[in-house]
Amino acid sequence: MRESMEFDVVIVGAGPAGLSTACRLMQQAQKAEREISICVVEKGSEVGAHIFSGAVLEPRALIELFPDWQERGAPLNTPVTSDEIYLFQDAERAKKIPNSLVPKSMHNEGNYVISLGNLCRWLGEQAEAMGVEIFPGFSAAEILYTDEGAVKGIATGDMGVGADGNQKGSFMSGMELHAKYTVFSEGCHGHLGKQLIDKFNLDADADVQHYGIGIKELWDIDPDKHKPGLVVHGAGWPLEKGTNGGSFLYHGDNNQVVVGLVIDLSYSNPYLGPFDEFQRMKHHPVFKQTLEGGKRVAYGARAITKGGLNALPKMCFPGGLLVGCDAGTLNFAKIKGTHTAMKSGMVAAETIFDALSADDQGGRELSAFTEALQNSWVYEELHRTRNFGPAMHKFGTFWGGAFNYLDQNWFKGKLPFTLRDNKPDYAQLKEASECKPINYAKPDGKISFDKLSSVFLSNTNHEEDQPCHLQLKSKVVPVESNWAIYNGPEARFCPAGVYEFVEDAATEQMQLQINAQNCLHCKTCDIKDPSQNITWMTPEGTGGPNYPNM
Amino acid sequence: MKILVMVKRVSDPNVTIRVNADNSDVDLNNVKMALNPFCEIAVEEAVRLKEAGIASEIIALSIGSSQSQEQLRTALAIGADRALLIESDTALEPLIVAKLAAKVIEEEQPGLVLLGKQSIDTDNSQTGQMLASITGWSQGTFASKLEINGDKINITREVDSGLQTICLNMPAVVTCDLRLNEPRYASLPNIMKAKRKPLVTKAAEEYGVDLAPRIRTLKVETPNIRQGGEILSSVAELVEKLKTEKGVI
């Protein structure tokens, strides 16, 4: 029998959505002079350890949450000074798009180049100072339900279980954390959020969700090349026709830049490797000239929920709410999700606080949340840009981009139709025999690097002796289907080298080897596996990357 | 018997460390910090001694920046009863740390001091030995097993030739090695309780110890990247390579 603890609200995940929920709840409780107990569990070893984003922040939600954010020392150190957008024609050439032709949603005046990890660390401090209990290193492993089927909280994972499934000497049973309301803010494709969407059929009226994978590196560069606040975006090369995505280079503070690539997981060529595309992308003169002579400091990857309004599931269910990227509030047209995630958390907090103030004992479906969110600017923003992603999928980068320019700048997103895109990303993969292998050059060790040295810079670590957290529904599918038909795409789409097809020396049979210790918790495998055979589970708490200012 | 456990805030053993731009030190900006793993073992041992009824109270002591409070809270969550932070904005050398700890020993009169055999950041392995010398207490270093019998303590140490067991008179200073125990996970309720346990902060200057450094760091450099080895097929090939490529024979 597990021990249990009672709280008013339990929040899963200390990201921008979860911490904004916690802060807003406490603010309201203080205003109403009411005691409220809030617990946040976070699987990373500390707040910020698993936070991974570009990031250019639109500060709208932060200003609403903490109007005095400057006095409180929020780490928004670098205002955006200029925007540059390129269309990459090939490995050498690029066309700079004049500002007037850029979709409005891509303009960044008033925004900041930030480290979202550091912003979350700061939000965590604010929340703790108000009395929120934050527990890093504790993963929410399962959802707990009442007999009536309402969510009543979560259970943290057991610690000290060996790879064979037996308890080790250090075994510590997980705990049940009960709450009147539980808020799920795990980020993109959370393993509990996924179960909730399924169980409560939350996506019944929504389009199929779409995802991207974002890979980025943090570099120390030559101070002479550093232009704090310069924001560079690009599309086109190295991605082949039919593959959507975009590259970025942001100049932050302290002579650091982040360089990255987002690739839509709707890509069809199984030979494509997002990691390899990113590595070769950096050799384009637009990036190379900045990076050359610099030093790579950190590396990471994370999936992105990008289906927008069309794919947004219902976000309330008995006993809880789904917020931020766990639901999919990212504004893909702006390629920003922090402000909408934060705002969705704040609206969730207000809804829950209203309920608790009316002496609600929990377990109800807070449908007021749906209405409150629809009346907020999050909905307006997502509605305006609902066609952006589907247009790119349907018409490609160029014509899709042209459509988006007209849609966003001329019609303000008010065109009287909605484009739909209902084929899941994993089903887009073509058979290897129909596709051309992509020949990626070997990394040069200066601008481009191999996977293992990259994973090393994510500081990822998992206790070695524990059950594999990447579970296969079928043991034969990886070889009989994924390898035989798709040439083992998991070895390529995993940005951390977790999946390797190796030949067994004795039998000369191909087999899938899972190096779970390398996992960056990006969730791409759970999304893109063409057989939908991989299930991402939470490993032992504190496992995973230890991102610095990512 | 009171036990004093010394703990240090260090960079997390799982993160990569790099040298800063002007080669004056390692760059700890944005680096995740943690409780030194050997110190964690020392705390665990103290808690086990208390659970066995041998110790009555565990005091965790850290000497360092104000953020070291986080590591003291970790020690409290594992089971220490109260904590003392001697705060200093500058990094203090092992000798100064040992002198400050000796002052705390005078005040607290513990029967046993436990600390890690070394910290994983600077790997000095000096504080425990210096502390034993300053206090004149018995010294047991690199303990992989520890047994207390009345006023004697048996320490098993891993040495090159095997295991060495020594018997010390109490009070003693004991530094803890990797295999002494496997620290427990701090449980959620214990982490919550730890937030309410007493933690006192004092300034290093209050102790009348000269804090001036005696060691000057000239330069910090990244070690050379190790070149990969090569397996040759014959002795003749080796001789040939030594002659032509390396020019050593």
Going from N- to C-terminal start, the domains of chain A cover 4-68+117-206+313-384, 388-419
Render pLDDT for A465-489 as a digit per residue (tens, 0 to 9): 999 999 999 999 999 999 999 999 9
Q: Which of A46, A224, A466, A550 should be substituted to probe chain B, the one whose Cβ sees the most B Cβ atoms within 10 Å?
A: A46
The chain-wide mean pLDDT, for chain B, equals 95
Q: What is the structure's pLDDT at A1?
A: 75
CB B153 within 8 A of CB B174: yes
Q: What is the DSSP string of A168-228?
A: EEEEE---EEEEEEEEE---TT-HHHHHHHHHTTTTTTSPPP-EEEEEEEEEE--GGG--T
DSSP letter for A461, please: B
Mean pLDDT of all residues in A202-221 = 96
Q: Which residue did the predictor score with more confidence, A397 or B10?
A: B10
Query: CA B76, CA B198: separation in Å to the nearest integer?
Result: 9
Residue B245 pLDDT grade (very low, low, confident, very high; cuts 50, 70, 90): confident
Placement of tokens 């207390």 in the chain: B148
Q: Please judge whether B188 and A46 are an interchain contact, meaning their C-beta atoms are less than 8 angstroms apart.
A: no
Q: Helix (H, G, I), strand (E, B), or coil: what is residue B83?
A: strand
CB A498 within 8 A of CB A529: no
Q: What is the structure's pLDDT at A397?
A: 67
Nearest to B188 among A135, A220, A549 (CB): A135
List, in order, residues 6 or more apart from A352 with CB less than 8 Å away. A9, A21, A25, A181, A183, A321, A366
List, in order, residues 6 or more apart from A295 with CB less than 8 Å away. A219, A220, B18
Please state, for a pLDDT cut of 90, what percent of chain A lies above it: 87
CB B199 within 8 A of CB B164: no
Q: Which residues of B touch A141 (CB under 8 A)?
A: none
Judged against a pLDDT cut of 70, whether residue A224 lies above it is answered with yes
What's the maximum distance between 2 C-alpha atoms anywhere in chain A?
70
Query: What are A466's two structure tokens?
Result: 């524990």
Instruction: Enter the CATH code of domain B2-246.
Output: 3.40.50.620
Phi, psi of B140 (to 5 degrees): -125, 110
**pTM score of the predicted model:** 0.93
Query: CA A530, CA A315: separation in Å to the nearest integer?
Result: 27
Judged against a pLDDT cut of 70, whether residue B80 lies above it is answered with yes
Q: Which residues of B touch A156 (CB under 8 A)?
A: 188
Q: What is the structure's pLDDT at A507?
A: 87
CA A386 to centroid of chain Cα atoms: 19
- The residues of A that are catalytic are 53, 302, 338, 494, 519, 522, 525
Helix extents (H) in B149-211: 188-194
Render pLDDT for A479-522 as a digit per residue (tens, 0 to 9): 999 999 999 999 999 999 999 999 988 888 899 999 999 999 99
Mean pLDDT of all residues in B94-110 = 97
Render pLDDT for B162-218 as a digit per residue (tens, 0 to 9): 999 999 999 999 999 999 999 999 999 999 999 999 999 999 999 999 999 999 999
Render pLDDT for B110-158 as a digit per residue (tens, 0 to 9): 999 999 999 999 999 999 999 999 999 999 999 999 999 999 999 999 9
Shortest CA distance from A128: residue in chain B:
B195
Q: What is the structure's pLDDT at B195?
A: 94
Count CA atoms within 13 Å of residue B171 on its CB side: 21
Instruction: Enter the CATH code of domain A4-68+117-206+313-384.
Output: 3.50.50.60
Q: What is the structure's pLDDT at A533?
A: 96
